[in-house]
Structure 1
Amino acid sequence: MLSYPAKIPLSSRTLNHLADRIRAHRRQRRSRWRRLNPGEPALLVLAHLRNGDTYTRLAAGFDIGVATAWRYVREAV
């Protein structure tokens, strides 16, 4: 189960769709190991797009660096 300390009005279908897209992108690029599994960056990106959360707040919520949060958002968008 994925959680984030904010209320985000979205369906699990949306989250799963974005996670599948991230997973396919990583597989296609033969991406190396990442700290977060594909579902977590999907939640991070949707929190940023829906709530306008800052990269600093996202980084703190997911226990990653600010630059890493920025890269996850950029990768998904």
Structure 2
Amino acid sequence: MLSYPATIPLSNRTLNHLAERIRGHRQQRKSRWRRLTPGRQALLALAHLRNGDTYTRLAAGFEIGVATAWRYVQEAIALLSAAAEDLDTAMRRIRQLAYTILDGTLIPIDRVADQKPYYSGKHKRHGVNVQVIADAAGRLVRASAALPG
């Protein structure tokens, strides 16, 4: 388990994987000094992704600004999505499996300026819909882009 002011049910391997991606990205861009180390930035992003902590809460916990917290999380998400398989590769992998699990979930969001497309009548709240394909053991094979409502 990793911890910051709350517990995150993820392994150290997950944290180290993301931290290495961030470290490599910073070296590639020849990035100057940053407020958080790659490990702390990875922890910040994982706390947001796994626990859904708000940027305000993360900023207070990691002693950074809200805009910096947002920028660090967005950078980590971009690095993770760049490493993901494309749809064709995922479909070839799926064909080799005995069976797969397809499911969707609504991820709650704050209201946006153009609210109507993001409102889910079924769940009676605003959110984005993500479709997920998993193997028989429940390991993620592919996740779709976030779609309105």
TM-score bin (small chain):
over 0.9
Aligned to 2:28: 28
Aligned: 1:61 with 2:64? no
TM-score normalized by the length of structure 2:
0.50
5+ residue gaps in structure 2?
78-149
Aligned to 1:10: 10
Q: Which has the higher contact order (CA 8 A, sep 6+)?
A: 1
Superposed structure 1 runs of 4+ greater than 2 Å apart: none
TM-score normalized by the length of structure 1:
0.95
What is the CA deviation profile of residues 9-66 of structure 1, one whole-angstrom value per residue up to 9, with x for unaligned ones?
Answer: 0000000000000000000011111011100000000000000000000000000000
Aligned: 1:46 with 2:46? yes
Aligned: 1:70 with 2:39? no
Aligned residues: 76
Instruction: Give 1 or 2 for the bigger CA radius of gyration.
Output: 2
- Which of the two has greater strand per residue? 2
- The amino acid that maps onto 1:55 is Y
- Which of the two has greater helix per residue? 1
Q: Note the aligned Cα RMSD (angstroms).
A: 1.1
5+ residue gaps in structure 1?
none
- State percent identity of aligned pairs: 83
